[in-house]
Amino acid sequence: MTPLSILDLSPIVQGGDAGQSLRNSLDLAQHAERWGYKRYWLAEHHNLAGVASAATAVAIGFVAGGTSTIRVGAGGIMLPNHAPLVIAEQFGTLASLYPGRIDLGVGRAPGSDQITAHALRRTLQGDIDRFPQDVVELMGYFRPTVPGQAVRAVPGAGLDVPVWILGSSLFGAQLAAVLGLPFAFASHFAPAEMERAIALYRERFEPSEQLAKPHVMLGLNVVAAETDAEARRLLSSLQQAFINLRTGRPGPLPPPVDDMDARLDPNAKAMLAQSLRWAIVGSPDAVRAGLKDFVAHTGADELMITAQIFDHSARLRSFEITAQARDQIAAAA
């Protein structure tokens, strides 16, 4: 069975706070390690009341320090927000503390609105148009230093921290292919160009020092529970959060509701149908079938599972069911 990893936004729920969210993330990572998940990635978003992982490198260090074998990383760092040297130093520090366990996924979206992006960078010069050059510069800081090199990352130089390209369009697929890097596609919220991006990446991939052949990881919402009805109820938190974000009303993750369909107007239904096209929602049997079908359709090398679930115990159970489904598929193969 295709390996499974986890993408976490460390959701802040209504009535909760960031401290509890980050502690929940560590608890989930510790469970994920026992359940055989390969990676645990945290995402960079800013000025969102429902996301606790804005200081992504700090959150990664917290999770890596509380686990021992699972790879921990960024899914991702939004590179236009940062100087490449700063990110090289941050992830060089993480790789020095937790050798062989740190991943660095980078994307070109701001992870915020334009006002927040300006607050982060203090300037909008050198933004997403410089993303390819910034990635190359970043990777250069992880190579061994050479005589006469004026600027180096300390820690960072010589550590060869694995770099991934994140994307939700054909741009990321092309860049990952040209640079010979693994590619993670955001099919969990922007699946429209998933098939084309996968095909383009594999067709144009050029081997590199980091990677000999293409490696595709696909984001996938999986909400699992003992019954289909309960899983659909748990999904309603994510559905509400999507609608709130798209209508300019972002906030903490809301509790689930029983009558979500009745609350949706036609536009909201269409938006959710598009964004959550590939979501797997249901009982253990439904999850097992959904995982098999998705992998057969895409040929994914790895799946990055995400689940925005209000109740922490229900969230743990969802990821446990998903891991059990993976094991059952592998046993039957």
DSSP letter for each residue of 96-111: HHSTT-EEEEEESS-S
305 located within any domain: yes
CATH at residue 130: 3.20.20.30
What is the pLDDT tens value at each position of the chain, 333 positions in all? 899 999 999 999 999 999 999 999 999 999 999 999 999 999 999 999 999 999 999 999 999 999 999 999 999 999 988 999 999 999 999 999 999 999 999 999 765 566 766 666 655 554 557 899 999 999 999 999 999 999 999 999 999 899 999 999 999 999 999 999 999 999 999 999 999 999 999 999 999 999 999 999 999 999 999 999 999 999 999 999 999 998 889 999 999 999 999 999 999 999 999 999 999 999 999 999 999 999 999 999 999 999 999 999 999 999 999 999 999 999 998
Position 67 in a domain: yes
The two beta strands, 302-306 and 4-8, are: parallel
Residue 16 in domain: yes
DSSP-based three-state secondary structure for 53: coil
Does residue 211 come out as left (phi exceeding 0), alpha (psi in the -120 to 50 range) or beta?
beta
Asked if residue 260 belongs to a domain, the reply is: no
In sequence order, what are the beta bridge partners of 106?
77, 165
Q: Among 181, 151, 149, 150, which residue's Cα sits nearest to residue 166?
A: 181
- In this structure, is residue 253 part of a structural domain? no
- The answer to whether residue 165 is domain-embedded is yes
Domain interval for residue 42: 4-227+279-332
Instruction: Write the CB contacts of 61 (distance below 8 Å, at least 6 apart in sequence).
Output: 94, 97
The residues that bridge with 283 in the sheet, in sequence order, are none
Task: Specify if 238 maps to a domain.
Answer: no
Residue 298 belongs to some domain of the structure: yes
Instruction: Name the domain count of the chain.
Output: 1
108, two tokens? 């070109």
Tell me the C-alpha distance between 156 and 85, whole Å: 9
